[in-house]
Amino acid sequence: MGPADTNTLMHTRATPKQARARQRVADILDAAAALLAERPPGDLNTSLIAERAGVPVSSIYRYFPTLRDLLDELSARAAGDLRQHFMETIAATESEPDLVLRIRRTLEGIRVFMAEHPYYRGLLLLLASLRGVQSVEDDDNAELVGFLADRWARGLDGFSGGDPQVVATTAVQIALTLEDRMARQTSPTLEAQYHEEMVRALDAYLSLYLRRSPAEES
């Protein structure tokens, strides 16, 4: 996670009005992300975060009443970045006839994001221990489901033969479940294998509803 933008609105809490307060929030989030990247996720606590951020523990509780609140904000920011990648990739590959290639390019963002944001793996694991596997009922994921359902309700991507909302919900849940499984792998080889299985699973499922190219069908 790069330095947090002090002008970025908070996702789960009221954004402080003063620039100094926004900077302190950014420092706290950056410190938590750095610790998640360096240490086992179970080690994370407010004392360590305060020490890394150079702020009193009381400052953390001022903006985040519980550690879970802080983690939820980090998760919301990460989910926003991933969601933006998915939407941009889906739009950019709209004319690509190869369904598997489109899915692969879109899902590759998960692996790239994990590599570029080393805190994300620990964040997923810690949140999974607190709230279970990610769900499409989470607000962050519901927006992506809505984006896909809207596209498919308009017949984009050659969609036919199913309920757009149900298919979008199922597809996103498949991806989220396998993303959590990828995060648990300490071996790059196993992580790559789970990523490949995610591509296969979504290809097999979405091929029931999305148009494939003539070359793929033959």
Condensed to tens digits (0 to 9), the pLDDT of residues 88-118 reads 887 887 777 777 787 888 778 778 888 888 8
The tokens for 73 are 């904000």
In the CATH scheme, what is the code of domain 75-217? 1.10.357.10
Separation of alpha carbons 122 and 193, rounded Å: 20
**pLDDT confidence of residue 218:** 46
Confidence of residue 139 (pLDDT cuts 50, 70, 90): low
Average pLDDT, rounded, for the chain? 84
Residue 98, phi then psi, degrees to nearest 5: -85, 105
Instruction: Give the residue ranges of DSSP H helices in the chain.
Output: 19-38, 46-53, 57-63, 67-92, 99-116, 119-131, 139-153, 164-183, 188-206, 214-217
**pLDDT confidence of residue 134:** 56
Least confident of 2-16, 49-63, 70-84: 2-16
Separation of alpha carbons 167 and 211, rounded Å: 14
**pLDDT confidence of residue 130:** 78
**pLDDT confidence of residue 10:** 75
pTM higher than 0.85 = no
Q: Is it the case that residue 213 has pLDDT exceeding 60?
A: no
Parse the chain into domains and list their residue ranges.
75-217
Residue (of 212, 5, 39, 218) closest to 122 by Cα position: 39
Confidence of residue 216 (pLDDT cuts 50, 70, 90): very low
**pLDDT confidence of residue 115:** 84
**pLDDT confidence of residue 71:** 93
Under 8 Å between Cβ of 168 and 141: no
Separation of alpha carbons 137 and 5, rounded Å: 28
Separation of alpha carbons 203 and 101, rounded Å: 9
Under 8 Å between Cβ of 148 and 195: no
**pLDDT confidence of residue 9:** 65
- Higher-confidence residue of 37 and 145: namely 37
Confidence of residue 212 (pLDDT cuts 50, 70, 90): low
Q: Is it the case that residue 70 has pLDDT exceeding 50?
A: yes
